[in-house]
Chain A
Amino acid sequence: MNQMTAPAAPQDGYVTEDGRTIGGVVMEMRNITLRFGGVVAIKDISFDIREGEIRAIIGPNGAGKSSMLNVISGFYHPQEGEVWYKGEKRPPMRPYQVARQGIARTFQNIALFEGMTVLDNVMTGRLNHMTASILDQAFWWGKAQKEETANRQKAEEIIDFLEIQNIRKTPVGRLPYGLKKRVELARALAAEPKILLLDEPMAGMNVEEKEDMSRFVLDVNDEFGTTIVLIEHDMGVVMDLSDRVVVMDYGRKIGDGTPDEVRSNQEVIDAYLGVSHD
Chain B
Amino acid sequence: MSNAPSSSGVPQSVPALLARNVAQFGSKPAYREKEYGIWQTWSWAEVSEEIDAIANGLLALGVDRGDHVAVIGRNRPALYWSMVAAQKVGAVPVPLYQDAVAEEMAYVLEHCFARFVIAGDQEQVDKVLEVQERVPQIEHIIYLDPRGMRKYDHTKLHALSDVKAEGRVAHERFEKELAARQAELDYDSTCVMLYTSGTTGKPKGVVLSNRNIIETSKASSEFDRLDPHDEVLAYLPMAWVGDFIFSIGQAYWTGFCVNCPESAETMMTDLREIGPTYFFAPPRVFENLLTSVMIRMEDASPMKRAMFHKAMAHAKKVGPKLLDGEPVSAADKLRYQIDNLLIIGPLKNTLGMSRVRVGYTAGEAIGPEIFDFYRALGINLKQLYGQTEASVFITQQKDNEVRPDTVGTPTPGVELRIADNGEVFYRSPGTFVEYYKNPEGTASTKDAEGWVATGDAGFIEPDTGHLRIIDRAKDVGKMASGALFAPKYVENKLKFFPNILEAVVFGNERDMCTAFINIDLTAVGNWAERNNIAYASYQELAGHPQVLDMIQSHVEEVNRSVAEDEMLSGCQVHRFLILHKELDADDGELTRTRKVRRRIIEEKFHDLIDALYGGKSEQYTETEVTYEDGRKGKITATLKIRDAATVPVTSVKSPEDQVAAE
Contacts and interface: CB of A to CB of B under 8 A. Distances in A.
A216 to B, nearest CB: 11
Nearest to B264: A166
A83 B379 CA distance: 67
A142 B185 CA distance: 55
Contact of A166 (B35, B147, B150, B269): B269
A159 B266 CA distance: 13
A156 B151 contact: no
A166 B147 CA distance: 19
B124 to A, nearest CB: 16
B86 to A, nearest CB: 27
Interface string B250-269: 00000000000011011001
A160 B35 CA distance: 8
Nearest to B35: A160
A223 interface: yes
Given A156-B37, A157-B36, A168-B37, A19 B151 contact: yes
A18 B148 CA distance: 13
Contacts of B148: 219, 222-223
Contacts of B269: 166
Given A18-B151, A222-B148, A166 B265 contact: yes
Contacts of B150: 222-223
A163 B265 CA distance: 10
Interface string B36-56: 111000000000000000000
A166 B263 CA distance: 8
Contact of B147 (A156, A159, A161, A165): A161
A153 interface: yes
A165 B37 contact: yes
Given A156-B36, A156-B37, A160-B36, A165 B151 contact: no
Q: How large is the interface on B (under 10, 10 to 19, 20 to 34, 35 or more residues)?
A: 10 to 19
Given A160-B35, A166-B269, A219 B263 contact: no
B270 to A, nearest CB: 10
Contacts of B263: 163, 165-166
Contacts of A157: 36
Contacts of A222: 148, 150-151
A217 B194 CA distance: 38
Given A19-B151, A222-B151, A159 B265 contact: no
B586 to A, nearest CB: 15
Contacts of A152: 37
Interface string A7-40: 0000000000011100000000000000000000
A163 B37 CA distance: 12
A108 B322 CA distance: 59
A223 B149 CA distance: 10
A37 B35 CA distance: 53
A220 to B, nearest CB: 11
Interface majority SS (helix, strand, loop, mixed), chain A: helix
Contacts of B266: 165-166
A118 B400 CA distance: 46
Contacts of A159: 36-37
B449 to A, nearest CB: 51
Interface in B249-291: 262-263, 265-266, 269
A160 to B, nearest CB: 6
A222 B147 CA distance: 10
A223 B262 contact: no
A158 to B, nearest CB: 10
Contacts of A156: 36-38
Nearest to A158: B36
A238 B262 CA distance: 33
A191 B447 CA distance: 66
A219 B147 contact: yes
A19 B35 CA distance: 30
A19 B148 CA distance: 13
A20 B151 CA distance: 8
A153 B147 contact: no
Interface in B224-271: 262-263, 265-266, 269
A109 B642 CA distance: 48
Among B36, B151, B266, which residue has the most Cβ atoms of chain A within 10 A? B36
B567 to A, nearest CB: 47
Contacts of A166: 262-263, 265-266, 269
A160 B263 CA distance: 10
Interface in A131-156: 152-153, 156
Contacts of A19: 151
Contacts of A160: 35-36
A156 B34 CA distance: 11
A157 B262 CA distance: 13
Interface string B15-49: 00000000000000000000111100000000000
Contacts of B38: 156
Interface in B112-155: 147-148, 150-151
Among A153, A159, A160, A219, which residue has the most Cβ atoms of chain B within 10 A? A160
A123 to B, nearest CB: 12
A152 B150 CA distance: 26
Contacts of A165: 37, 262-263, 265-266
A245 to B, nearest CB: 23
A159 B148 CA distance: 16
A155 B145 CA distance: 18
A17 to B, nearest CB: 11
B601 to A, nearest CB: 27
A222 B151 CA distance: 9
B36 to A, nearest CB: 4
A18 B263 CA distance: 30
A219 B150 CA distance: 10
Contacts of B147: 161, 219, 223
B369 to A, nearest CB: 29
Contacts of B35: 160
B656 to A, nearest CB: 54
A24 to B, nearest CB: 22
Contacts of A223: 147-148, 150
Contacts of B265: 165-166
A36 to B, nearest CB: 42
Nearest to A19: B151
Interface string A76-92: 00000000000000000
A98 B269 CA distance: 39
Contacts of A219: 147-148
Interface string A163-198: 101101000000000000000000000000000000
A92 to B, nearest CB: 39
A22 to B, nearest CB: 14
Nearest to A215: B148
Nearest to A119: B37
12 contacts: A20-B151, A119-B37, A152-B37, A156-B37, A160-B35, A163-B263, A165-B265, A165-B266, A166-B262, A166-B266, A222-B151, A223-B148
Given A119-B37, A152-B37, A168-B37, 6 more contacts: A153-B36, A156-B37, A161-B147, A165-B263, A166-B262, A222-B148
Counting from the closest, the 5 A-B pairs by CB-CB distance are A166-B265, A156-B36, A166-B266, A156-B37, A165-B262
